[in-house]
Amino acid sequence: MNQDISAFIVKTSGTVGGRARINGTRIAVRTIVGWYKQGITPKKLSEQYEHLTLAQIYAALAYYHANREEIETDIQTEEALYDQFSAETLCSEKNTS
């Protein structure tokens, strides 16, 4: 059975912030890219996350390479929010000590 690759990646308002994700899951493309950048191979990902197929993982990586600026911006925004939250939490903990 042939499948249209565009069916693997979707954006849905209200699901993972409307970001590109693997259809039928809440796993964002940026999540797959993050694991991939850490050296986790698509095969290893499909073994660790049995509900993901190799086709889904490769579709996420293909989407990333075709839309690199979108995903990199998303990753940078998420990292900045994490850094801000961490700094605020650390500051809050110091003030309560």
C-alpha–C-alpha distance, residues 97 and 82, integer Å: 22
Element counts in the chain: helices (H) and strands (E):
4, 2
Does the pLDDT at position 1 exceed 90?
no
* In the chain, where the domains are located: 5-96
Backbone angles phi and psi of 55, in degrees to 5? -60, -45
pLDDT digits (tens, 9 = 90+) for 71-82: 999 999 988 988
pTM value? 0.82
What CATH architecture is 5-96? Orthogonal Bundle (1.10)
User: Which pair of structure tokens corresponds to residue 87?
Assistant: 């700094």
Q: What is the per-residue pLDDT across 33-89, written as a single tens digit (0 to 9) for each?
A: 999 999 999 999 999 999 999 999 999 999 999 999 999 999 999 889 888 888 877
Please check whether residue 35 is in contact with residue 28, taking contact to mean a CB–CB distance below 8 angstroms.
no
Report pLDDT for 93.
67
